[in-house]
Amino acid sequence: MERAALALQGEASVYTGLLRSLLLLAWMVEARDPYTGGHLWRVAHLAELLAEAAGFPSKEVQRIALAAFLHDLGKVGVPDSTLCKQGKLSGEEYQTVQQHAEIGLRLLQPHPLASMVVSVVHHHHERPDGKGYPLGLTGDNIPLDARLVAVCDAFDAMTSHRPYRAGMPVEHALDVIEAGLGQQFDAHLGELFLELGRAGRFSGVVGFCDDGIPLAHCDACGPVLVRDRTAQAGDFTRCPACKAGYRWVLSGASMLAVVDDEGSQHMGWTGSDGSLLDHLVERWAVLL
């Protein structure tokens, strides 16, 4: 009996390690693009809200949220010169980016946890009108979870800051989604998303990088500074885009970033927020 219990604990530990490795890989992809800080967290949070509104069971809601966090895994195979380009992509570069859906599929195929997330990783750029990629699937031929994440991913892309444009206001982005219902976006899920957005349910998601933690502003690059859960007043950080140094300071109940190049000149990239990673592993371990 004791031996069986130990075996089960060992198996659970292996699967938890596999989950952690996928989350870390997704974070590595996000860290390569200085303007996507918090994108994975936001898309996962939006997907959770939408899946709940669509009436999915709680465990399925969490599976979809996990898949949303991992949706861009395939970008690990896209060159930095293309992934991080600050202007409009050429036709050839756009084709290169499109390959991330197939790369994600190949990356996950041998993975023990693939079945939970692979449909989203492979199909989140399909469109109901058949003009998406990689397979040009139409309507209900697109997996439901991928249709759901597609709405959330597009919304976050529209409302997030880029070096060549400011993020759209929420209402403008919702109008774009509304105009694309049944063509770019699933009609039913899109309608539910619009209801959530217009009811103010995204107020703690847009412009945030974690629960209750908004993105901070770099003077040159805009809202791109990500604050870890464990950051304290006096800690240093660096803009992922221009590399300017900043120090976190308290301002009432908020934490602001102020320029401090001298204090952060010896800093390197510190990787993912370990406390957030632990939280996400614990949250999604119920799926294993």
pLDDT tens-digit series, residues 19-55: 999 999 999 999 888 888 999 999 999 999 999 999 9
Query: Within a 10 A sphere around the Cβ of 284, how many other Cβ atoms?
Result: 22
Q: How confident is the model at residue 165 (pLDDT cuts 50, 70, 90)?
A: confident
Lowest-pLDDT choice from 72-86, 224-238, 269-283: 269-283
Query: Within a 10 A sphere around the Cβ of 45, how many other Cβ atoms?
Result: 22
Q: With 70 as the cut, is the pLDDT of residue 260 above it?
A: yes
Q: How confident is the model at residue 9 (pLDDT cuts 50, 70, 90)?
A: low
Residue 85 pLDDT:
85
Residue 270 pLDDT:
46
Tell me the average pLDDT across 187-206: 98
Tell me the average pLDDT across 140-149: 99
The total number of residues written for the chain in this structure: 288
Compute, in degrees rounded to 10, the torsion defined by CA atoms 44, 46, 47, 51: 140
Structure tokens at 244: 């300017």
Residue 274 pLDDT:
75
Q: With 80 as the cut, is the pLDDT of residue 57 above it?
A: yes
**C-beta of residue 205 within 8 angstroms of C-beta of residue 46:** yes
pLDDT tens-digit series, residues 221-254: 899 999 988 888 998 888 988 889 999 999 887 8
Mean pLDDT of the chain: 91
Residue 151 pLDDT:
99
Give the Å distances, CA to CA, from 228 to 43, 85, 100, 287: 18, 26, 28, 25
Q: How confident is the model at residue 183 (pLDDT cuts 50, 70, 90)?
A: very high
Residue 269 pLDDT:
45
For residue 53, with 0-12 CB atoms within 10 Å meaning exposed, 13-18 middle and 19 or more buried, which class applies?
middle
Residue 17 pLDDT:
95
Tell me the average pLDDT across 168-189: 99
Residue 268 pLDDT:
46
- What are the structural domains, with CATH classification, of the chain? 2-210+273-287 (1.10.3210.10), 214-259 (2.20.28)
| For the ranges 74-88, 128-142, 226-240, the one whose mean pLDDT is highest | 128-142
Structure tokens at 167: 């993020």
- Residue percentage of the chain with pLDDT more than 70: 91
